[in-house]
Amino acid sequence: MTWTWLLPMPILLALLGAGLSLIFGRRPIIQRAISVTALSLILVVAGALVYLADTQGPQVLWIAGWQPLGISLVADRLSSLLLLVSAVICLLVLLFSLGQDQEERLRETPISIYHPTFLALTAGVSNAFLTGDLFNLYVGFEMLLFASFVLLTLGGTGERIRAGTTYVVVSLVSSLLFLVGLAAVYAATGTVNMAQAGVRLAQLPPEVQQVIQYLLLTVFGIKAAVFPLSAWLPDSYPTAPAPVTAVFAGLLTKVGVYAMIRTQTVLFPENSMQRPMLVIGILTMVIGILGAIAQSEIKRMLSFTLVSHIGYMVFGIALDTAAGLSAAIFYTAHHIIVQTTLFLVAGLIERRGGSTSLNELGGLASASPVLGALFLIPALNLAGIPPMSGFLGKAGLLRAGIAEGNWLASVGVGAVLVTSLLTLFAMAKVWNRAFWQQMPLVENEDGKMVEAGQPLQPSMAVVAAVIVAVGLSLTVLAGPLYGFTDRAARDTRDGGYIAAVLPEGVH
């Protein structure tokens, strides 16, 4: 029995949920039920695709049977794993946002707008991970742009509109460059199917290949926020509501990383561009974390650490080895979960302490020990403290870098170690100032000095604890997960993707 009919379901379920939630915009309870049901079904489908890809090989569906001229959807080990992780994150972030009280929900995530847009964002992410077609990948990015602009400007404050404007301008520039890249690929190969283009690009002169490769990597570098194309991110993400910032930080940049992996392994497998990509990965790591330790606002600090840790993934891709790619895939899955968790906890810190500025926080460890634990565990995981998954991912990158043996890879190994230490320093800075130092008091309406902020919503804390537990589960399941990413890396590098997608004779 073929199960390829499952491939479009994550996209269709999200779009169907978005449409139904618009219809029931005046019925909040029904709208929430639709959103949770749609995301739960997507999670089940994603889990099934992971199992099928691992046991039966890549699952391929040509839409309407137009083979090989139509759009193909492909679930191999890499895409299905990232689809599963994104489904987990989207569901838990949505549940977190439902825990807000009514006033906060109306201000931060108005239901009639929030739910359909959130589901449209999920459809865009799913489409980007599953598509085997460059133009359809462009469509997925545009779905993300539309939905993320709406989510970024929820509430309509001046700060959010300014941040959203910056985000849209940068995204439109990258979309324009992507269209130019699509035109170049089609002009050179006569196709935008990734597998077919990969076969035909190899027959072109090296100079033509290099121009197209640079163009596509520039586009995906903007999406992934690698240095020096990352200046937009720290100014855009921190202004959004906590659930929106969390899902942005966890997922959107990883779609760019995923596209870079496909570019390097499917379109240009013989031209790794190792040196320039290693330099970019090293600079992204170091400059990002230097920006983080200079911040005194938690969300901006986390935005800079997000940029910095994208450098780890680029470093693993740039090594151009199965071990390096496997570690990069493992670290991508780890980072989606941990970075999302930290941004959600930052939202809880803002609620409990009244601010995310370290100059206005203090005493949260004694005021809310649960909040202290919710921050400390993912913070240590991000810094790579043994034996957590962050340490295991970095250990894989270090091992792959050392095995590569050239001097630039050795510099990258040093950058991984330095960035880990500075990440720990940044997290310790937050812990010391927000959780340990004395809590500042503010004057209330009666002229009395009281603590700022308000108590945590139990449901929000429970969801945050679940995501923390999911992050810890990567440590417990690190052995099987690393085995899976090893197989994913081998499949991606040995031409298995192209062989699965292209029918007999199309070569």
| Dist CA 109 CA 126 (whole Å) | 22
323, pLDDT greater than 80: yes
Q: Give the E-state strand segments of 10-104 in sequence order.
A: 59-62, 72-75
- State residue 439's pLDDT score: 66
pLDDT mean over 78-95:
93
Helical (H) or strand (E) element with 141: helix 134-152
**Cα dist from 234 to 279, 285, 494, whole Å:** 22, 15, 37
Task: For the chain, give every domain's residue range.
Answer: 1-270, 272-476
| HSE-up of residue 420 (Cα within 13 Å, Cβ side) | 20
Residue 359's pLDDT band, with cuts at 50, 70 and 90, is confident
Residue 62's pLDDT band, with cuts at 50, 70 and 90, is confident
The structure's pTM equals 0.91
Residue 150's pLDDT band, with cuts at 50, 70 and 90, is confident
∠ CA 379-382-386, nearest 5°, is 95
Residue 47's pLDDT band, with cuts at 50, 70 and 90, is very high
Q: What is the pLDDT of residues 301-315, one digit of tens each?
A: 999 999 999 999 999
Strand-pair partners of 357: 297
- State residue 155's pLDDT score: 64
| Residue closest to 212 by CA, chosen among 190, 255, 180, 175 | 180
pLDDT mean over 111-122:
84
Residue 238's pLDDT band, with cuts at 50, 70 and 90, is confident
Q: Compare 129 and 4 and report the one with higher pLDDT.
A: 129
- Answer for the pair 330, 485: CB distance below 8 angstroms, yes or no: yes
Average per-residue pLDDT for the chain: 86
How many residues comprise the chain?
507
CB-based burial, 44-78: b 16+ in 10 Å, e otherwise: ebbebbbebbbeeebbbbbeeeeeeeebbbbbbbb
Residue 158's pLDDT band, with cuts at 50, 70 and 90, is low
Q: What is the pLDDT of residues 186-236, one digit of tens each?
A: 998 888 888 888 888 888 888 888 899 999 999 999 988 898 888 888 877
